[in-house]
A and B are shown apart, each in its own frame.
Chain A
Amino acid sequence: MTRLKQKDLIKLAFLLPAIIYMQGFGIFPFIFSLFLSFSDYRLGSETWKLTGFDNYVQLITGDYRFQRTTLNTFMIMAMGVVVSMSISLGFSLLLSRELRFKRFIRAAYLSPMFLPAVTAGVIWILLLDENIGPLQWIAMTLTGGIRAHFRGDPTSALFTVVAVDAWMALPFNSIALLAGLESMPIDPFESAKVDGANRFQIFRHITLPLLAPLLLALVLLRIVGLLNFFTIAYVVTYGGPGMATEPVSLFVYFTTMKFFNFGYGCAAAYTLLIIALMVSFLYRRFVLGRAR
């Protein structure tokens, strides 16, 4: 009996420090910012009051910049997921083959895995430089001397930030899909071969369905990552030209740290948070729920 009591105590004593710490410094800020989002609080102003849903109404109906950044976030998300997942799948299929120098090739493919986002941004600014960048040289060689404006033109700037982000996300997604491919059961593949299925059919009807849960998990993680899309947009384009590559998180940054409009910024951030909560619910339901 005392043993049981001690066990109860000890398990809480082990768990609670982390929970309290995360609660206090982790969850409390989110509650605080929900409160702020219903106010017109500005940094430095003496008086402020609760304004109810005014911030949200203004954001959704009256703020062109917010609408534009929301659109940007969704476009970056859609393109980022499709581009990075399809290339990663291709890479992982390539890497799962029997290859010479397998270890070396894998290590090289995965080498940008933990690269800081800022560094990746700097690297790609150099590569895409309009005067001296190697990619500019390649583009000019291919087109016969027409200068490309990777970061200067609104449309290509959006593709550029998506590409840089996809480049950064590739190693992790490839190695995760590779792990998925290598842990697959062999039997379905062998029986399909016996039945005379060709390679595409095997991929379409066996590999993909077996990989689907993992793909879903990676897509959801990717969506969460892209909701927070900030660093690359900040470093590579600073949201520009104009607002062409400004995601919501950068909008929040400008609103609060440039214009000190804290209440309004919180409301904008909370729209992101609602999407994130939905994604985390989906993750729990379909990824973790399936594992049990």
Chain B
Amino acid sequence: MPKAIKVTQIIENFFVYLMILAGLVFCVFPMYYTITTGLKGPFDTYSFPPKWVPFADFIPMPVGWDNTLFGGKFFGLVTGVPLAPEVIRSTINTVIVAMSSSFIAMTLGCLAAYSLTRFKFQKISNDTISFYALSQWFLPAAAAIIPYFLIMRTLGLLDTLLGLVIVHSVGNTPFVIWLMKEYFAEMPVEVEESALVDGCNYLDAFIRIVLPLSTPGLAVVFLFCFILSWNEFFYALILGYTNVRMMSVFLAGSVGRTGTFWYDLCALATISMIPPMITGFLIQKWIVRGLTFGAVKG
């Protein structure tokens, strides 16, 4: 009898690991294939059946990386498009916009989150206020983009970094409020209270005591905002088309422009996924509870 159980156990484990393997391939293979295609030379890129494994199937020949980073200095331009200056510019644009919009969203969002966790509002309940903030995220971007376009045109901010910074920081503020609210709610209030008794004012207590204590949370939320901004496409497409092309817009535009120069496109795609992947590994553990907006507890 115990032996029979063991056999079914082994069979079950076999199927479980088989499914795990299938899931792994499903999740990771697309990225793996993109990264390796970025390393292929022109001939290996277009071979069919495809080449799967570097060094075993094909010898890496980073034409695409050469084109995207050095403008084809090493392999010559005959095999692709010289993307280098634009790649560097759009990366810098994206970093500037992501950094500044995250900074603004963090500043405003943290203050509001602190206020919502430590004080009680009489006329409108705290829950209503924070839901009002969240509901902004629920609203479809398509309905906001037209007024944004007109407002930015009136203010002369169309196709400028500042315009995108504003739009991205507005979009990220609700996230900051919700994520930091959870974080502040779990922090003990005693330290601040004793500081307040010692004659510290609220802003001092917030800057000198609360913020330093919540550094890990701040880092996670900042990285998350950065990634949201880095990934954002819709607003970036409409509000910044020529002067301030963002990484995502540049990548999407390259699909048509580089045509079938897949090694160029894959090198570009690899660049665009490096920051999100690194950040993802750093923060995924912390972010889930916050991102389900009150649905996961404990």
Contact = CB atoms under 8 A, between A and B. Distances in A.
A15 B295 contact: no
A48 interface: no
B71 interface: no
Interface string B51-79: 01000000000000000000000000000
B252 A118 contact: yes
Contact of A269 (B146, B289, B296): B146
Contacts of A270: 143
Contacts of B273: 115-116, 119
Given A121-B252, A280-B135, A114 B173 contact: no
A131 B260 CA distance: 11
A221 B136 CA distance: 13
A167 interface: yes
Interface in B227-268: 227, 230-231, 233-234, 237-238, 247-249, 251-252, 255, 262, 265-266, 268
A217 B28 contact: no
Given A18-B111, A119-B273, A217-B292, A279 B138 contact: yes
Interface stretch (A49-57, A153-161, A172-180, A187-195): A172-180
Interface stretch (A78-86, A101-109, A200-208): A101-109
A276 B135 CA distance: 9
Given A116-B233, A218-B292, A284 B131 contact: yes
User: Dominant SS at the A interface?
Assistant: helix
Chain B, interface size: which category? Answer: 35 or more
Given A111-B281, A118-B272, A218-B295, A132 B45 contact: yes
Interface residues of A, number: 99
Contacts of A97: 16
Contact of A22 (B26, B115, B170): B170
Contact of B233 (A22, A32, A231, A280): A231
A265 B272 contact: no
Interface stretch (B147-155, B186-194, B213-221): B147-155
B30 interface: yes
A272 B142 contact: yes
A230 B234 CA distance: 7
25 contacts: A14-B206, A22-B173, A22-B174, A109-B23, A111-B31, A112-B27, A114-B231, A114-B280, A118-B249, A121-B255, A122-B34, A122-B252, A122-B266, A123-B31, A132-B47, A170-B27, A180-B296, A214-B292, A230-B141, A230-B234, A256-B146, A268-B142, A272-B142, A284-B135, A287-B295
Interface of A: 6-7, 10-12, 14-15, 17-19, 21-22, 25-30, 32-33, 36, 91, 94, 97, 99, 105, 107-127, 129, 131-134, 136-137, 167, 170-172, 175-176, 179-180, 183, 213-214, 217-218, 221, 224, 227-228, 230-231, 234-235, 248-249, 252-253, 256-257, 262, 265-266, 268-270, 272-273, 276-277, 279-280, 283-284, 287-288, 291-292
Interface of B: 16-17, 19-20, 23-24, 26-28, 30-31, 33-34, 37, 45-50, 52, 108-109, 111-112, 114-116, 118-119, 121, 127, 129, 131, 133-151, 166-167, 169-171, 173-174, 177, 201-203, 206, 227, 230-231, 233-234, 237-238, 247-249, 251-252, 255, 262, 265-266, 268-269, 272-273, 276-277, 279-281, 284, 288-289, 291-298
